Amino acid sequence: MRTIRLTVNGKAVTAAVEPRTHLADFLRETQLLNGTHLGCEQGVCGACTLLIDGAPARSCITYALACEGAEITTIEGLDDDEVTRELRAAFSREHGLQCGYCTPGMLVTARDIVTRLPEADERRVRLELSGNLCRCTGYVGIVRAVCAVLDARRRNGVAPEPARRPLGPVGSGHAQPISSTELRGSTTVAPSTVVAPTDEPTGPTTGTAAARSGPGTVLRQSFTVDHPRERVFAFFGQLDEVVACMPGAALTEAPRNGHLRGRLRIKLGPIAADFTGEAEIERDPASHRGVIRGRGRDSRTSSTAIGEVSYVLVEERAGAATRVDIEVDYALRGALAQFSRSGIVNDLAERLTTAFARNVEARLSGGADSWNEAAAPRPELDAGSLILSVLRTRIRRFLDRLLGR
């Protein structure tokens, strides 16, 4: 736990928080400010938008710790704000809301448009509002409401607010860095679930155990291959072979003295990340364990990743098969960090492990992995469809709850 001091709706607040606590959770759970809504929890829908030092920000992907010394304004803190009052009246008049779930975030963004862009026309209003999703009203009434407030203020000659810093990464900039020890200390995981031993060889099987989001996210995965432990351990020592089994990964230099350089390509919808980095490897033949410590950077999205992958090989089926238990402990920073919410990370890790297990099994059996290198270049890891499937599942669950199914 770390202590933070910040101002929330004009009041000084001091509180102890876990480094992984998001600002929205902090405000809703410890300050009981439930006007900040959570929709996607991935920085996409805008329901959680509030003001940090006067700038709109997604509180679901902002760590509370990053707001040390900041002034936070939630929708509750805008009760007496003149612009928000005008917007509230216009939203009611123009039918700019139905269920109201998106409304707090819409109002915060709309207030920003009115104060920052007093000359905005309808096209600009639509563009600026495009980061806030409404699932029931449609946008006609909302856009009409914002335009009505802008028109009224122009007619009345209301002076625009003084310029403020441009939109960009949020956080007060006063926060202390978080040490890696703290990150690790903040992470506790549920006991690992592993694939149950079977009597029949079934090819590689995988299982997911636990996933946590936030800095120091820990994932545990297991899979079983139908080969003896010594053979699997020897295979894991051939780094070029192991890297070749990982979707999107490639070596950029031949490994030397337990050190490797490589790259990992990931596609997340419109974002294509190309991480380059390096890693050190340690292996212990006595315990059949290994650990890989690596770090990488994607210059296109300015995202960085640091992580540790450890594995242990366990004999199964009287030595005929080997279970590989993997633990990944990583922190992702930058634009891609918004995708580190547990649902997506869990599914992504499961998909990765399944592909990796299949390819390890294929190579151990003397075949090629599932990509035909001669026919086509190795594909990057496309997580975009995965994110959509996670969102689809959440919407389906929400509708099921709503309709009592």
Give phi and psi for 355, each to the nearest 5: -65, -40
Give phi and psi for 256, each to the nearest 5: -140, 130
Residue selected from 34, 55, 81, 100 as contacting ligand FES according to rule CB under 6 A: 100
Is residue 36 a contact point for ligand FES (CB under 6 A)?
no
Distance (Å, rounded) from C-alpha 82 to C-alpha 101?
22
Is residue 46 a contact point for ligand FES (CB under 6 A)?
yes
Residue number with CB closer to ligand FES (198 or 398) = 398
Angle made by CA atoms 132, 134, 140, in degrees to the nearest 5: 95
Query: Which span sits near ligand FES by CB under 6 A: 42-50, 76-84, 378-386, 397-405?
Result: 42-50
What is the CB-side half-sphere exposure of residue 391 using CA atoms within 13 A? 14
Spatial contact of 13 and 7, defined as CB atoms under 8 Å apart: yes
What is the CB-side half-sphere exposure of residue 247 using CA atoms within 13 A? 19
Closest listed residue to residue 357, CA positions, set 210, 233, 231, 207: 207
Amino acid letter, residue 336 = L
What are the angstrom distances between the C-alpha of 153 and each of 87, 111, 115, 118, 160?
11, 12, 10, 8, 9
In angstroms and rounded to an integer, the radius of gyration of the C-alpha atoms of the chain is 25
Residue number with CB closer to ligand FES (43 or 248) = 43
Residue number with CB closer to ligand FES (1 or 89) = 89
Residue selected from 48, 324, 336, 357 as contacting ligand FES according to rule CB under 6 A: 48
Residue selected from 19, 35, 39, 214 as contacting ligand FES according to rule CB under 6 A: 39
What are the angstrom distances between the C-alpha of 352 and each of 54, 92, 136, 301?
40, 48, 36, 22
Q: Where are the alpha helices (DSSP H) in 41-81?
A: none
Is residue 60 a contact point for ligand FES (CB under 6 A)?
yes
Query: Which span sits near ligand FES by CB under 6 A: 39-47, 174-182, 217-225, 312-320?
Result: 39-47
User: 165 is written with which tokens?
Assistant: 């810093």
Is residue 45 a contact point for ligand FES (CB under 6 A)?
yes
Shortest gap between Cβ of 399 and ligand FES (angstroms)?
Answer: 14
Shortest gap between Cβ of 363 and ligand FES (angstroms)?
Answer: 41
| # of chain residues touching ligand FES (CB under 6 A) | 23
Shortest gap between Cβ of 82 and ligand FES (angstroms)?
Answer: 23
Place of tokens 């405000």: 27
Is residue 145 a contact point for ligand FES (CB under 6 A)?
no
Residue selected from 28, 58, 153, 229 as contacting ligand FES according to rule CB under 6 A: 58
Shortest gap between Cβ of 15 and ligand FES (angstroms)?
Answer: 21
Is residue 97 a contact point for ligand FES (CB under 6 A)?
yes
Place of tokens 């914002």: 146
Is residue 44 a contact point for ligand FES (CB under 6 A)?
yes
Residue number with CB closer to ligand FES (103 or 187) = 103
Residue number with CB closer to ligand FES (20 or 323) = 20
Convert residues 300-319 into a mask of x (bound to ligand FES by CB under 6 A) and - (unbound).
--------------------
What are the angstrom distances between the C-alpha of 339 and each of 42, 61, 332, 333?
6, 9, 9, 10
Residue selected from 23, 27, 33, 40 as contacting ligand FES according to rule CB under 6 A: 40
Is residue 269 a contact point for ligand FES (CB under 6 A)?
no
Number of neighbours of residue 266 by Cβ within 10 angstroms: 24
Is residue 108 a contact point for ligand FES (CB under 6 A)?
no
Residue number with CB closer to ligand FES (103 or 213) = 103
Residue number with CB closer to ligand FES (324 or 337) = 337
User: 245 is written with which tokens?
Assistant: 């089994």
C-alpha dihedral (224, 228, 232, 233), degrees to nearest 10: 120
> Under the rule (CB under 6 A), what is the footprint of ligand FES?
38-41, 43-48, 58, 60, 97-103, 134-137
